[in-house]
Amino acid sequence: MSQAAASFNPFDLRGRVAMVTGCNTGIGAGIAVALARAGADIVGVNRSEPVETAQQVCALGRRFVAVRADLASISAIPGVMEQALAEMGHVDVLVNNAGIIRRADALDFSEEDWDAVMDTNLKTLFFLSQSVARHMLARGAEQGGAWRGGKIINIASLLSFQGGIRVPSYTAAKSGVLGLTRLMANEWAAKGINVNAIAPGYIETNNTEALRQDVGRAREILQRIPAGRWGAPQDLGGAAVFLASSAADYVHGHTLAVDGGWLAR
């Protein structure tokens, strides 16, 4: 075996640029830092300044570009792409993490809450993926055989597989994310773009704070998790690095549950 072959690391992301939406806190922050630790530079797309995430990424010796945008509307996408490409030159990895949740009984759920969740969690996810994929394909055409391909990672949910309660628009959106992941993989796999998803379990984030404050519900959830604990944002990092790396070059259209064993129960 040659020295080059012996030293090859399929999880090495050096030289790659990863765009991570919603990375100021929680799952997005954990993924952004993990990708930076593997060598990637980061474009963070957020409504607010991701100060702590930027500090952690830069402390690892990687570049961090903060793009301020409200992904509730697809009108933000051209500006996001323009700034990312102006400052980084290219995007190799997209992590569609930005999302919101609204809770109410299905009998009382409002159209406003339905539209807000669907627009951010599904509509913008698709059209940002479309924009990044167009960039990836154009770059590939320019570079020919030297192009390494692109990776799109969607953040799905346990509710991509289950119905849940009191979150109808979130369940619909995350079920749609699973379907779109497969659709985009079917169309783009042969073009050199891997599209996959991660389905987090019950993770300690802002979105689950209401559940964790409900003592009875939190106890019920914990009792069902085989791992015996809620997940931490860092628990998603390894899955994201894998799917962003050349180690996953033959993985297409898969949704990987990182859930402490919840779906196996």
Q: Among all residues, which ones are annotated catalytic?
A: 170
H or E, element range at 209: helix 209-213
CA distance 45 to 28: 10
Query: Which residues lie closer than 8 Å to 184 by C-beta, 6 or more apart?
Result: 129, 133, 152, 193, 195
Tell me which residue of 122, 154, 132 sits closest to 244, measured CA to CA: 154
Cβ-Cβ contacts under 8 Å for 111 (sequence gap 6 or more): none
Q: From residue 150, give the alpha-carbon distance in Å to each of 95, 159, 196, 233.
A: 11, 27, 11, 24
With beta carbons less than 8 A apart as the criterion, state whether 199 and 177 touch: no
